[in-house]
Amino acid sequence: MDKKCIAIAGATGYIGGRLAPRLLSAGHSVRCLVRSPRKLLDRDWAANDRLNVRQADLADAESLAANLRGCEIAFYLVHSMVSAGSKYADQDLFLATQFAKAAQEAGVRRIIYLGGLGSTSKDLSEHLSSRRQVESALASTGVQVTVFRAAMIIGSGSASFEILRYLVERLPVMITPKWVSTNCQPIAVRNVIGYLLGAIDNEQTTGQIFDIGGPDVMCYRDIMRIMAKELGLRARWVIPVPVFTPRLSSYWIHLVTPLSGDIAQPLAEGLKNPVVCSEHRIRDLIPQQLLSVQEAIHAALNKIAESDVETSWSMAGPIPGDPDWAGGTVFRDIRKVPIKAPAWAVFKAVCRVGGGHGWYGWDFLWHIRGWMDVMVGGPGLRRGRRDPDNVGYGEALDFWRVTGMEPDKMLALRAEMKLPGEALLEFLIDGEQGNECVLQQEALFLPRGLFGLLYWYSVVPFHGLVFKGMLQGIESTALQIAAEGH
């Protein structure tokens, strides 16, 4: 295998975050073009001397060309669904056009793109039609493009897999749209990565479009049946009805799964289209062992059980800048507690907040707040966290996102629940005393209008319970961690 300089647009996303370390392991030089370079700093592979992380604006073809110059191949793994909401299709088309111009100017020999499976027709969903438009845009400047079209990708942390898992786990009886009878050809995430890697040195894939899928073709109802079996649950009752529109389906998905309505609606709309491979040429060009649906689900669930989820759909998207705290009323709730434990133990305890660990105190109040958030279209507590003990910049912790961290010193979270204002939650650790330290917890809220003021004064009475209980829980856990020595 020839060693190449390879660019990845979308390295902080679900597929890009898994592709990059495998390219490095294969000996390639990898240039990650990202909006938020800090998102990659805590990855296990971030210290590789063949990795070059560059902050890049995909909307600026000129500066993007400078960042692509010297790369022979560029992977385009960008999707605006998380960040652009209902306008994702226009945004995706624009960014792909800019990328094609930049690749042509920079002398990139080939672009490799992962798109969506589905026969071209007038009835094709907006989501899948958008994927076709991106294909055309990437090829518009003459750079050779290799396209892989995939249906549902089964892997720990993928959006499609999370929808399926949560629906089956939480609903013993499901009243569903007719799409449960639509045929689909899922593919395991490891097989997707296998095809992307295999295309690098296979010149026969240049300029070609390939359908990729696993060995099984089945309807979504049967996939749910397999999921229930792998989860050790009784068979689910699935009752299809003709009245469920994609919008109604997206509301249901939003209520039951961690995905927001903005993401759920285009995905639900796409479920009406059969997504089955029309050809299998790629199996001869890049042979690999294809996992069945049951094998892929089993492998994904094992990764979750072992807390070994490499990437998650919730990691994608931009990190908003800090709100302008100057010139307005900013409410603060500051609390401190001395802890007879070293800073590293306190920091480790702080980093366990959210997800399965809960929020250390008065969890039922957090769950009520999460339920209220879901009712108004927010993420609630359902996103959980990727890893039970470790966090990274840009990762989701329930309805918060990590916007700052300094090991053993600080963790900053920004609220992503629906709020009439901007909220931050920061943990600062002063550990200069060796085996003792002081933990400061600071909640900041910048209200937006009258409703923001009313919101703050309505939740203040609960702060004494929630934040005091959180500090006590962190202290108790830090002492336990220190006693165990790890």
Phi/psi for 469 (5° steps) reads -65, -35
Give strand pairing partners of 397: 400
Rounded CA separation 164/175 (Å) = 14
Mean pLDDT (the chain) is 86
Q: Give the integer Cα–Cα distance in Å for 112 and 75.
A: 5
Q: Which of 395 and 105 is assigned the larger pLDDT?
A: 105
Tokens of 335: 């609390």
Structure tokens, 150: 């995939």
Name which of 437, 418, 348 is nearest 379 in CA terms. 418
Q: Categorize the per-residue pLDDT at 53 as very low, low, confident or very high, splitting at 50, 70 and 90.
A: very high
φ, ψ for residue 100, nearest 5 deg: -65, -40
Query: Mean pLDDT lowest for which of 149-153, 213-217, 268-272, 460-464?
Result: 268-272
Q: What's the per-residue H, E or C state across 410-475?
A: EEEEEECCCCCEEEEEEEEEECCCCCCEEEEEEEEEEECHHHHHHHHHHHHHHHHHHHHHHHHHHH
Q: Average pLDDT of 128-155?
A: 92
Handedness of CA 251, 255, 260, 266 (dihedral sign): negative
Element (H, E) at 226: helix 220-230
Tokens standing for residue 467:
């934040």
Q: How many residues does the chain have?
A: 486
pLDDT at site 421: 86
264 vs 66 pLDDT, higher one: 66
Nearest to 452, CA basis, from 486, 422, 417: 422
Question: Residue 379 pLDDT more than 90?
Answer: no
Tokens found for residue 419: 């709020």
Residue pair 380/370 in contact by the 8 Å Cβ criterion: yes
* Interval 354-364 mean pLDDT: 84
Q: What dotted CATH number matches 1-150?
A: 3.40.50.720
pLDDT mean over 161-166: 84
DSSP string, 334-386: EEEEEESS-HHHHHHHHTT-SGGGTTSS-HHHHHHHHHHHHHTT--TTTT--S
pLDDT digits (tens, 9 = 90+) for 214-270: 999 998 889 989 999 998 988 888 777 766 566 666 666 767 776 666 666 666 666
Q: How confident is the model at residue 52 (pLDDT cuts 50, 70, 90)?
A: very high
Q: Across-strand partners of 209?
A: 147
How far does Cα 110 stand from its chain's mean position?
26
CA distance 45 to 52: 11
35 Cα distance to chain centroid: 15
Distance CA 482, CA 436 (A): 11
Mean pLDDT of 332-343: 92
- Cα distance between residue 183 and residue 272, in whole Å: 9
The pLDDT value given to residue 83: 52
Please give the CATH superfamily to which domain 331-484 belongs: START domain (3.30.530.20)
Residue pLDDT, tens place only, 111-127:
999 998 876 666 667 77
Residue corresponding to tokens 């110059």: 69
**Which class is 152-187+214-306 in CATH?**
alpha beta
| Max avg pLDDT among 279-288, 317-326, 397-406, 411-420 | 279-288
Q: Write out the two tokens for 284.
A: 């001869």
Q: Whole-angstrom distance between the N-terminal and C-terminal Cα of the chain?
A: 41
Structural domain boundaries in the chain: 1-150, 152-187+214-306, 331-484
What pLDDT was estimated at residue 29?
A: 95
Biggest CA pair distance of the chain: 68
DSSP assignment of 312-328, as one string? -GGG-S--PPPP--TTS
Supply 439's token pair.
Answer: 């933990």
Coil, strand or helix: which one is 276? coil
Both tokens of residue 472?
A: 């006590």
For residue 412, give the 3-state DSSP assignment: strand
Question: Which H helix or E strand runs over 439?
Answer: strand 437-447
224 or 32: whose pLDDT is higher?
32
For residue 348, what pLDDT is reported? Answer: 93
Out of 50-54, 69-73, 216-220, 383-387, least confident range:
383-387
